[in-house]
């Protein structure tokens, strides 16, 4: 018989979840402050109820002493994105992080579930420091678009209402609604691509100026103060003279400097978002 104190068992999961929420919310804030595109719209999280942990353990025939290693979603983080492409961008950023290790990934975006469910799941091992020592906690990060989240939230509440017995006609309509949500995602993505392409066409120079300014701030981040000042000064000069060709050359030179600075700072890894 398992007589553990579940409140105490969940303490490290609660800590891990709080830390993860802070980290991904801060990442969004940081990207916004740096005027860089943020693939994160908002972040939520939950700890699985003890009754659901025990129900899952029973359903999957997991002995209680293996719950910690085999139930991967006791701590669950959910990150909502605007566009499907943001999911891949964020997945890559998570792969590059040094503060968590990916255990495995489940791509329910390309391989939807029979219910129609779509999301990208990443199981990470996350180290936390407790009063009893270090512990590696498994956590599930679900990445989904706003449309996927809209569908999953409603489907989840209906499944709760009907339990295992969702009437067949409703089940079919939910599968259809999931497809409609996915078509909406595709449509919004193609509108976004067109908007970005149009911006590039009409706004080439201002896009380059904004990129150079962002790059200069990144050089400050790597403490390359002298180089950053020089690039900043040259940018002012080039813009004042309206020399488009020199602006492009300056941009390329800055990319090279940034590459070197990133390599020097993190030789084995690249930055999270370029
Ligand atoms: P803001 O002001 O929205 O930017 P906690 O960890 O205590 O802060 P709690 O109570 O555990 O949060 O709630 P949860 O579910 O983890 O996440 C709440 C965050 O998600 C809040 O953001 C909500 O605003 C945001 N959120 C939840 N649902 C939606 C939604 O449908 N649309 C949008 N845009 N945001 C949503 P913050 O971080 O509190 O700050
Ligand atoms: P909650 O309330 O979100 O915590 P499992 O389905 O749990 O036996 P596995 O392989 O551990 O199997 O997990 P899976 O299917 O990769 O992901 C489980 C979580 O994904 C669920 O957690 C849901 O959050 C979400 N999910 C998976 N399938 C569906 C679905 O058809 N509809 C909805 N709305 N969400 C889904 P929980 O614990 O079931 O729920």
Ligand number nearest to the C-alpha of 144: 2
The burial class, CB within 10 Å (0-12 / 13-18 / 19+), for 150 is middle
Please give the distance, rounded to the nearest whole angstrom, from the Cα atom of residue 54 to the centre of ligand 1.
Answer: 28
Give the pLDDT confidence score for residue 195 in this predicted structure.
Answer: 77
Q: How far is the CA of 42 from the centre of ligand 1 (A)?
A: 7
What is the mean pLDDT of each successive set of 10 residues along the chain, which is 274 residues long? 86 97 96 85 97 95 95 98 95 96 98 96 97 95 98 90 82 95 95 76 76 94 95 91 85 94 76 63
Three-state DSSP class for residue 80: strand
CA of 25 to the centre of ligand 1 (A): 10
Q: If phi over 0 gives left and psi between -120 and 50 gives alpha, with beta otherwise, what is residue 137?
A: beta
pLDDT of the residue at 199? 64
Report the separation in Å between the CA atom of 142 and the middle of ligand 2, taken as the mean of its atom positions: 10
Catalytic (active site) residue 140: yes
pLDDT of residue 227: 95
Task: State if residue 28 touches ligand 1 by the CB under 6 angstroms criterion.
Answer: no
Domain boundaries, the chain: 6-164, 194-272
Atom number of ligand 1 nearest to Cα 149: 31
Q: Residue 235: name the closest of 260, 261, 205, 258 by CA.
A: 205
Strands 75-81, 133-145: parallel, antiparallel or unpaired by DSSP?
parallel
- Residue 253 burial (CB count, 10 A): 14
Q: Which of 19, 140, 155, 227 is catalytic?
A: 140
**What is the Cα–Cα distance from 145 to 85, expressed in whole angstroms?**
9
In angstroms, the CA 138 to CA 108 distance is 19
Q: Pairing between strand 75-81 and 42-47?
A: antiparallel
Q: Are 105 and 164 in contact (CB under 8 A)?
A: no
Cα gap 241→238, rounded to integer Å: 5
Contact indicator for 139, 76 with CB cutoff of 8 Å: yes
Whether 121 lines ligand 2, by a CB cut-off of 6 Å, is yes
- Strands of the sheet with 75-81, listed across from one edge: 42-47, 75-81, 133-145, 120-130, 101-107
Provide the CATH number for the domain formed by 6-164 in this structure. 3.30.460.10
Q: Please choose, from the candidates 99, 138, 96, the residue with its C-alpha nearest in 3D space to the C-alpha of residue 121.
A: 138
113 lines ligand 2 (CB under 6 A): yes
Q: How far is CA 85 from CA 117, 127, 185, in A?
A: 18, 29, 10
Question: Any alpha helices (H) in the chain, and if so which ranges?
Answer: 6-9, 11-33, 50-59, 67-70, 84-95, 146-162, 168-202, 204-221, 225-241, 244-265
Chain length of the chain: 274
Q: Is the CB of 25 under 6 A from ligand 1?
A: yes
Q: Is the beta carbon of 221 within 6 A of some atom in ligand 1? A: no
Q: Are 252 and 234 in contact (CB under 8 A)?
A: no
**With the CA atoms of 232, 237, 243 and 249 taken in that order, what torsion angle do they form, in degrees rounded to the nearest 10?**
-40
With a 6 Å cutoff on the Cβ, whether 224 touches ligand 2 is no
Q: What single DSSP character describes residue 48?
A: P
């Amino acid at each position: 018989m398992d007589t553990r104190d579940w409140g105490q068992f969940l303490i490290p999961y609660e800590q891990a979840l709080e830390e993860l929420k802070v980290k991904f919310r801060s990442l969004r804030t940081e990207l916004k402050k740096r005027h860089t595109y943020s693939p994160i719209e908002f972040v939520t999280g939950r700890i699985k109820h003890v009754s659901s942990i025990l129900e899952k353990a029973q359903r999957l025939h997991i002995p209680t002493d293996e719950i910690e290693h085999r139930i991967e979603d006791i701590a669950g983080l959910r990150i909502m994105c605007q566009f499907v492409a943001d999911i891949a961008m964020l997945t890559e950023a998570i792969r590059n992080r040094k503060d968590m290790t990916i255990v495995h990934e489940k791509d329910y975006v390309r391989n939807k579930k029979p219910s129609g469910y779509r999301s990208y799941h990443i199981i990470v091992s996350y180290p936390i420091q407790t009063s009893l020592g270090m512990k590696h906690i498994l956590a599930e990060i679900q990445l989904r678009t706003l449309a996927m989240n809209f569908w999953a939230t409603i489907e989840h509440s209906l499944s709760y209402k009907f339990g295992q017995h969702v009437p067949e006609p409703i089940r079919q309509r939910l599968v259809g609604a999931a497809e409609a949500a996915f078509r909406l995602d595709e449509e919004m993505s193609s509108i976004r691509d067109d908007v970005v392409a149009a911006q590039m066409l009409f706004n080439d120079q201002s896009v380059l100026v904004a990129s150079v300014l962002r790059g200069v701030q990144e050089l400050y981040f790597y403490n390359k103060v002298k180089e950053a000042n020089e690039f900043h000064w040259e940018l002012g000069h080039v813009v004042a003279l309206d020399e488009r060709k020199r602006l492009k050359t300056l941009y390329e030179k800055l990319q090279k400097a940034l590459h070197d600075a990133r390599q020097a700072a993190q030789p084995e890894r690249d930055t999270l978002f370029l």
